[in-house]
Amino acid sequence: MKSFIPPRRDFKALESRRQQAGRWFAQGKIQAFVARQLQVSRQSASRWYQQWRRAGAEGLRAAGRAGRKPRLSPPRLRQLDEQLRRGARAHGFRTDLWTLPRVARVIEQQTGVSYHPGHVWRILRAMDWTLQRPARRARERNEAAIRQWVAQRWPAVKKTRGGDAPG
C-alpha cells in the first residue's frame, strides 16, 4: 500500500531554489540573472530580492505547510482501508456495493470525522481506490441462447458490403 495523500509540491526544492537566489543576490548578481538561471519569472526574482533585502536568507525560508491539515491521519486512513476491504455487507448494508454516501457513513462511524459524500472520492483516490461499476446485465440473461443467436441469426440480419446500394 502506498503512502496516502502525497504532497502536491516539493516544498524543499522550492526553498532550495529561493536560497540559491539569496546566495546570488549576496554575490551582487542582478534579478534578471537569477530569473534566467532558476527559470522563474522576473516578478518572482524581484519578490525574492525584496524578501532577501528585508530579512536576509531567513526571509527566503519556507513558510511551512500549505493549506489545511488533513482531518484523517495516515494510520486512520490505513484503518479505513482495512474496514472498506471487509465489504459493505460487513457494515450493515444490504448489498456489497460501495457508494460515496455509504463510505461517508463508514468514515464517520469509524473515525468520528464527517465528510460530505461528494468529497469522499478524494479520500478514496488518495487511498488508490478506483471507480468500479458493476456490469449491468439482466438476471434472466441466457448466455447459451445469446451465443446461438450470434452464431446463427446475426449473420443473416447483418448488413453486407454492397447490400445497401440502390436497387
Q: What are the pLDDT digits (tens) for 95-114?
A: 888 999 999 999 999 999 99
When pLDDT is averaged across residues 114-127 and rounded to a whole number, the result is 91
Average pLDDT of the residues of the chain? 87
Higher-pLDDT residue of 6 and 79 is 79
Residue 126: what pLDDT? Answer: 86
Angstrom distances, CA of residue 151 to CA of 15, 42, 119, 154, 155: 67, 69, 47, 6, 7
Q: Is the pLDDT of residue 165 over 70?
A: no
| DSSP-derived 3-state class of residue 101 | helix
Does residue 163 have a pLDDT over 60? no
Over residues 30-56, the pLDDT tens digits come to 999 999 999 999 999 999 999 999 999
Confidence of residue 2 (pLDDT cuts 50, 70, 90): low
Distance, in Å, from the CA atom of 74 to the CA atom of 128, rounded to the nearest integer, reads: 13
Is the full-model pTM beyond 0.75? no
- What is the C-alpha separation between 76 and 119, in angstroms, rounded? 17
Cell of 77: 486512513
Residue 5 has pLDDT above 70, yes or no: no
